[in-house]
Homo-oligomer: A and B are copies of this chain.
Amino acid sequence: MNDSVDVAVLGATGMVGEQLVALLDDHPWFRLAEVGASDRSAGDRLGDRVVPSGATSLSPRVADLRLAPVEGPWRSPILLSALPSGVAGDLEPALARAGHLVVSNASSHRQGDDIPLVVPEINPDHLSLLEVQRERWPGGLVTNPNCVVAGAVMALAPLHQKLGLEAVVMTTFQAISGAGRPGPAAGDLLDNVLPYIAGEEEKMGREIRKILGTVRQDRVEPAEIRVSATSTRVPVLHGHLVSLSIAFRDRWSPEDVIAAIREFESPVKADGLPLAPVLPLEYLEEVDRPQPRLDRDRGAGMTVTVGRVRPCEVHDVKLFALAHNLVRGAAGAALLNAELCRARGWLDRMGAPGLATPSSAR
């Protein structure tokens, strides 16, 4: 895989977009060639729109990129979309129609019948829906889950695959950065917890069932798991923590759960995806972990941690899961999907614009 493929980031000045830019600056497979943002900032230099800090910095080439309107036209074969769902709804299909592989973090199309909702370590085979999309457009549209689901479903996947899930009751502790910019006001969140996030709880079950589902006859048959979610916002910068109470189809113990997590093997290990962490899922033995600030950066933000696996008096087992919402839950999720698409040859199969010699990508 010696030639890098050009990618564009759409919505590059938002929180997820900035993270995508950071992950793509110096990426071994991709070259960040274009950036797009709302009309308001179109024409601006990317480096002038990103808040510099000691922890992040852009290479001069990337800092000098000029923001284009998100509508395009785009030259890059791969478009990484961090667009708000209002914009993504119409624009992403149009871009797939124009032949691009659109890898999106937006929620707009996650439930589309022929749209794969993919976590590479869980359901890479769902990419086969890209074949179904050929009836609609020459390009492709791949989505990743909501930032909370991204962590929770990683913890649930081995339990579903090995032990058989029946029901999940989950309560989330979501970080501020999950709300984008400007996000909640300091005056609302200091010395407080917000017990409501608009439109959030409904997504959880639908997305978990689709990711853990099975592709049959050109669509995904969702896994039969009942999911009840409660979402809250807490005064934490990054890292969504989730408390889960889990009912299995059969009786399983905390030890069985721990074993399933420890024995989990990623189905994309052989693909050598640059962003894939050594451990996509890590069990922490300490009695008081995972904690958002201490554990969100494991595996460069791509490792999901699980802890406090213990018996549940109502269901079978209780546990906590944690994931970095901007990396594993958003920018990293989208980029890992793009890597998977390339590794599995989907890019070659599209006549994506800008792929002068598509065959060279492999």
Contacts and interface: CB of A to CB of B under 8 A. Distances in A.
Going nearest first, the 9 A-B pairs with the smallest beta carbon separation are A54-B298, A54-B297, A53-B294, A196-B288, A171-B171, A228-B314, A182-B185, A228-B313, A192-B293
Interface residues of A, number: 66
Among A195, A226, A297, find the residue whose CB has the most chain B CB atoms closer than 10 A. Answer: A195
Interface string A285-325: 01111111111111100010101100011110010100000
B205 A230 contact: no
Contact of A186 (B169, B190, B286): B190
Nearest to A307: B195
Contacts of A155: none
A191 B193 contact: no
A14 to B, nearest CB: 12
Contacts of A205: 313
Contacts of A177: 187
A189 interface: yes
How many copies of this kind of chain does the complex include?
Answer: 4
7 contacts: A53-B294, A173-B173, A173-B193, A193-B291, A196-B288, A228-B245, A235-B235
Interface of A: 51-55, 167-169, 171, 173, 176-177, 181-196, 205, 226-228, 230, 232, 234-237, 241, 243, 245, 247, 286-299, 303, 305, 307-308, 312-315, 318, 320
A162 to B, nearest CB: 21
A54 to B, nearest CB: 4
Contacts of A235: 186, 190-191, 234-235
Contact of A187 (B183, B187, B292): B183
Contacts of A184: 185-187
